[in-house]
Structure formats: C-alpha cells, structure tokens
Amino acid sequence: MDSDQSIELQGLIHRIQQGDTGAKRILLERAYERLARLTAKILTGSFPAIHTRHDLHSIVHETWFRLLQTLENTQPPTVADFFRLAAHKIRQVLLDVAERERRLAVREVPGLLGEASLEGNSGDGQQTYDPEKLAMWTDFHRKVEQLNTDERSVFEMHYYLEIPQAEIAQVLELHPRKVSYLWVAATEKLADVFGNDLESV
C-alpha cells in the first residue's frame, strides 16, 4: 500500500461517513485481493490441516461478508482503523473455522481413522488433523487479543496485513522506532506459545 492507495482508501472512508453506501463495497473490493493473500498465508502457516479441507475463497468470502456486515453499523474513521478491523475479522473467521474443525475431529477422527491418524500424517503423505498444533495456533491467535491497543494495532497490521513497518508508522502517525518497539514488545509477549522463537510465525 503506497501513499496514493492510502489516500484513495481514506477518501472511500470519508464517503462512507457521508452516507455513500456504495463506497463500502468499493472499499472491500480494494481490500479483497489482500485478504485472499493473507488468508492463504495464515492458513498454510498456522492451520495447514484446515487448508487441506477448506476452499480458500470460501474463507475469504466469509471474512469479506463479516466486514460488510460490520460496516453497516461501524464506520472506521481512518485507514488504520479499517486495517485493524480487517485484521480482527481475519483472525475471527480463522478461529471459528479452527473450532469447528476441532469439534468435528473429536466426533469423527477416532472412529473413522483410528488413534494413529491423530499423530500427524496419513500413509499417503497428506496431512491429517493434529490437535496439538491446532490448539497451539488457536492459542496464539487468541493471545493477540490480549495485547494492549498499540501493540495489537502494530502486530495486526504487520503480521496479518503484511504492511511494512515504515508504512505502519505513516498510517498510525508514529515514529518508525516506536513501531519497531511495539512490534518487538508484541512478539515477546506472544513468544511463550512457541518458546523463544517466533521465526515459525
């Protein structure tokens, strides 16, 4: 997202505030491609078993639909607020899908596949349900909600939305060093889920 795109999005947000309902869909259309890229990244990195069982576009569409519904009652005043809302919805959808998968596995996996299938990969090399890994990643994404406002804003925009820290500094009107400090602080608080190494995140 360059400065021109940021200005365009801010203009769309202003139109929404003025009652232009068509601007909501335009705003989401501008964000759809990014939502798809980010959802794919998080699915393959955090929830690979879910990735093999769910169509990417169905998850992106659910995120898009929830954003549209939220924008009916909420008007983010700035581009930064819109990005934070989008990041929250991505995480919300993925956690809901993970919970549905967990419940499904509890009911079906032991009876259909046997206890050995819970340990990792099936004989054909395709990844199966891994309850420990799913629980770990679910815990990680929920812990993001517990960060303080500034840390969560920076983490959401950098991790979920892949916005460079320099651009985050511009959007949030913070010094780049402050953004870097908030990113480090956030990752340190989340590191207990993965030990001392967040490289896998």
Measured distance CA(168)–CA(19) in Å, rounded: 28
Number of Cβ atoms within 10 Å of the Cβ of 132 = 10
The pLDDT value recorded for residue 117 is: 42
The pLDDT value recorded for residue 50 is: 63
Chain segment 51-62, per-residue pLDDT in tens: 566 677 788 888
102 has pLDDT over 50: yes
Tokens representing 75 are 């008007």
Could you state, in order of their start, the residue ranges of all structural domains in the chain? 3-193
Residue whose token pair is 């980010």:
38
pLDDT, averaged across the chain: 75
pLDDT top residue among 109 and 168:
168
Segment 129-147 shows an average pLDDT of: 75
The pLDDT value recorded for residue 37 is: 78
DSSP notation for 102-154:
HHHHHHHHHHHH-GGGGGSB-TTS-B---HHHHHHHHHHHHHHTTS-HHHHHH
Measured distance CA(23)–CA(14) in Å, rounded: 9
The pLDDT value recorded for residue 184 is: 94
pLDDT top residue among 1 and 187:
187
The pLDDT value recorded for residue 131 is: 63
Segment 104-119 shows an average pLDDT of: 51
The pLDDT value recorded for residue 113 is: 44
Of the pLDDT bands very low, low, confident and very high (cuts 50, 70, 90), residue 199 is very low
Contact between 46 and 59 (Cβ < 8 Å): no
Chain segment 7-32, per-residue pLDDT in tens: 788 888 888 888 888 888 888 888 77
pLDDT top residue among 8 and 187:
187
126 has pLDDT over 60: no
Give the predicted TM-score (pTM) of the model.
0.66
Measured distance CA(75)–CA(159) in Å, rounded: 23
The pLDDT value recorded for residue 130 is: 59
The pLDDT value recorded for residue 182 is: 96
Read off the DSSP letter of residue 179.
H
Measured distance CA(86)–CA(66) in Å, rounded: 9
